[in-house]
Structure formats: C-alpha cells, structure tokens
Amino acid sequence: MNSISSQEPKKPTSILNAAVIVAALGYFVDIYDLLLFGIVRTDSLKDLGITGDAIRNQGEYLISMQMFGMLFGGILWGILGDKKGRISVLFGSILIYSVANIANGMVHTVDAYAFWRLIAGIGLAGELGAGITLVAESLPKEKRGYGTMIVASVGVSGAVAAYLVYQIFQDWRLCYYAGGVLGILLLFLRIGVTESGIFKKTMEKEESKGDFLSLFTHKKRFFKYLNCILIGMPLWFLVGILITFSPEFAKALGIQNADTVEAGKAIAFCYSGLVFGDILSGLLSQWFKSRKKIMYVFLVFNLIMIFVYLNAFNISSSLFYFLCFLMGTSVGYWVLFVTIAAEQFGTNIRATVTTTVPNFVRGALPLIIFVYAFFRDSIFDGNILLSGMVVGSVITVISLFSLSKLKETFSVDLDYSETV
C-alpha cells in the first residue's frame, strides 16, 4: 500500500451533502427499476401475448438477460470509476438505465424487451458502487457510515415505491416511463456534486488504476475480494428464493388464504424491512464503532428468521407478510456489506471492488437457485421448507467464516493506493 498524501483533503462536514443526496436518489431509482421488473413481469408478458408456462420461461430469459447486463456492467463501470472518476460513472449509469426504462415501456416483442433489460442491467450495475465509493471518500472517516446508511436506506425504499406506483397506475408501461423520467430529472442534480479529494489526488499519480485482473493475481487480495462477495450471499438467497417464491412457501406452510399471497406484496414488505434494517445496522455500527460486530449480529438474526419463516405453519396471511418485513430487517446489513467492501481496498481499485462485489452477489443467484433445487429435488424429495433451511444455514455459515477473515474497517483511513 502506498500513501497518497500526508495531508487529508478537506471534506464536507454535513452528512447530507450533494454527493450523499444524489447517490441516495440515484440508488432509489436503481432499485425501483431493478425490482419493478419482478413486480410487472407477469402482466407485461401477458400484454405481449405470452401465456401459460411460457410466462415463466420467458420471464427467466428476461431475468437472465438483465443479470448478464449487470455482471458485465459491474466490471465495466468499476474499471471506469477508478480510471475516469466516480462522478462520471454515477451519472453515466443513471442516463443509461433511464433511457432503458423508457424504452422498456415501448416494447412490443419479447426480444425487444430482453434487449432493453440487458441495457438496463448494464446501467443499473454502476449506481451503487460509484455512489458508495464517492460518499465513503467524501465524508470524514468518523461520519462516512452515516452517509452510506442514508444512501442504502433511501435506495432500497425504491422497491416499495415500485410496488406502490404499480398499484396506483395498474399499467406496467406507465411504471417504466415513471422510472425513466425520475432518472432523467435526477441528472439535473449533478450541479454542485464534485469528485472526492482522495480520488483527485490519485489521478495525479502515475499508477495503475481500475486493474480488475489485479484482484485475481495476488493471493491475499483475491481471498479478501472473495470474502467481500461471500458475506453478501444470504441476502440474495432470502430475497431471490424465500421472498420471490413466497406464494409457493405460503402454500407449503398452510398459510390461511395462501392463494391470496402475492410475491410483489411480499417483496414490498421485505424491502420495507430492509430500509429499517439498513438504518438500524448503520446506526449501530456508528454507535459501537464496528462494522464486523454488527454484521455478525445481523447474519445470525437472518438465520434465525429463516427458520422462523420456514416453520410458520398455519398463520394468517397478514402475519406472514409481517414475517417478510422481519426477514427484510434481518438482511439490513446490506449497507454494512457495501461499506466494508469499499473500505477494504485502496483508492486506485476501490470503485472496481465496490461496483463489482454487489453485482457478483446478485449474479450468484442462479448458482444459489441451482444448489437449492438440487437439495429440493434430489435429496429432500420436493420438500421446499427443509431445503430452504439447509441451504440457508450453509450460506450463512460460509458468510460468517468469510466475515471472520476480513479486517475491521471502522474509521480506517482510505487515503492510500494498492500496489498492483
């Protein structure tokens, strides 16, 4: 590690500065679009003339295209964030997914839908990493946890907004248009947002920046990067399987009026809990001056909630939705997860790491689904409840072990570069 400067650049003292506000609102629109597709998927495909089992198959195809875009975009934006700046990525990603949102509302074929979900995925991949990196570098080290907490908590509330907007409009095309317009309006807030002083100094140095491959060519750095990814896995197991397929779990649990349980409503309750959990975990990490200790607490809380959820037999649908809220609260460590990733690496590859890590976690969902399906179909003879408990336990144990291998980063100085 090479120190960039012996003098800390002057940073804004207010937590609600322009960088925090723009990053938070950008992530809000990002999550709005990311979760909107899951909410309008069925109705949008029916409107395009898709029926029966083809709705599920075409839906999986569209999700795969979006995920491919996010994996590619995560690497692209991460590298650009370290080479060209956090601001350029923040607004470039907003512009791309805003245009894609509007275009999604105009499609009339599945292929066109898939193309624009791919473009949207590329755009969506850059927002969180660039925003968190900018905020972490722009605020004093004692306050940056508050800044990243605001970004994450405001951002994930975009999922709730997507559900409410759809309930109001009842038109999937209007919902996409709304997301696109929100993104474009957000671009006007660029005025007053400046690049972090730490990054500006890095640009003056003749050193390698945004070297993605350097994360794989150094053993210690690679395992640190891998551990950053693994600690986020439980969230996407919970959201991608337990919440997304909540109607199936409701039936298996014998929930009263199980036929009325909606995945979109479960997602809204879950992400409402996520907002609360992000605020809670962010505040606790500041009060206890530790990222890791609070992360441990939330990972254990998450595992407990998985077992509670998968053993909640014969309860009312209202109580079932409340459990979805608590499930979301238990994975409210998302803000800690992305902050830890940003704080583990030097300025010259920080954006690369912070942008790729959450997208690789999202991209691991197909693998998680494959493992879950293997246990469900090959070991537990179709028992989705037992399969969920086993897979959830394994993923949580892996995450706890990975967290133990990472250093505590609360108040660590970010003014250094990695030797790559």
Tens digit of each residue's pLDDT (9 = 90 or more) over 143-160: 888 988 999 889 888 988
Gap between the Cα atoms of 359 and 69, Å rounded: 10
Gap between the Cα atoms of 219 and 343, Å rounded: 19
Decide whether 11-190 matches 212-410 in CATH topology: yes
CA 319 to chain centre: 26
**Predicted local confidence at residue 13, as pLDDT:** 58
Gap between the Cα atoms of 77 and 133, Å rounded: 12
Amino acid at 32: Y
**Residue 197 near residue 9 (C-beta atoms within 8 A):** yes
> Can you read off the two tokens belonging to residue 284?
């606790």
> Can you read off the two tokens belonging to residue 54?
């083809």
Gap between the Cα atoms of 392 and 125, Å rounded: 26
Output the CA–CA distances (angstroms, integers) from residue 67 to 60, 74, 294, 407, in the order listed: 10, 10, 30, 30
Gap between the Cα atoms of 212 and 221, Å rounded: 11
pLDDT digits (tens, 9 = 90+) for 361-413: 988 888 888 899 899 889 999 999 999 999 999 999 999 999 999 999 888 88
SS3 288: coil
**Residue 107 near residue 113 (C-beta atoms within 8 A):** yes
Q: Which of 313, 283, 344, 287 is nearest to 146 (CA)?
A: 283
**Predicted local confidence at residue 356, as pLDDT:** 93
Q: Which of 382, 385, 295 is nearest to 336 (CA)?
A: 295
Strands 2-3 and 416-417: antiparallel
The whole model's pTM is what? 0.85
- Residue written as token pair 């491959």: 213
Question: pLDDT 10s digit of each residue in the chain, 420 long?
Answer: 554 444 444 555 577 778 888 888 888 988 898 888 878 888 899 999 988 878 777 887 888 888 888 889 999 999 998 888 888 888 888 899 999 999 999 999 999 999 999 999 999 898 888 888 888 888 888 888 898 899 988 988 898 899 899 999 989 999 999 999 998 888 887 666 777 677 777 766 766 777 899 899 889 999 999 999 999 999 989 988 899 888 889 999 999 988 898 888 898 899 999 999 999 999 999 999 999 999 999 999 999 999 999 999 999 999 999 999 999 999 999 889 999 998 999 888 988 999 999 989 988 888 888 899 899 889 999 999 999 999 999 999 999 999 999 999 888 888 777 776
Amino acid at 360: F
Gap between the Cα atoms of 356 and 70, Å rounded: 9
**Residue 363 near residue 284 (C-beta atoms within 8 A):** no
Q: Which of 317, 35, 9, 2 is nearest to 179 (CA)?
A: 35
> Can you read off the two tokens belonging to residue 315?
């309860």
Q: Under CATH, what is the fold of the domain 11-190?
A: Growth Hormone; Chain: A; (1.20.1250)
**Predicted local confidence at residue 8, as pLDDT:** 46
Phi, psi of 2 (to 5 degrees): -115, 130
- Residue written as token pair 């660590």: 412
Give the start-to-end residue ranges of the domains of the chain: 11-190, 212-410
By the 10 Å C-beta count (0-12 exposed, 13-18 middle, 19+ buried), 25 is classed as buried
Q: Under CATH, what is the fold of the domain 212-410?
A: Growth Hormone; Chain: A; (1.20.1250)
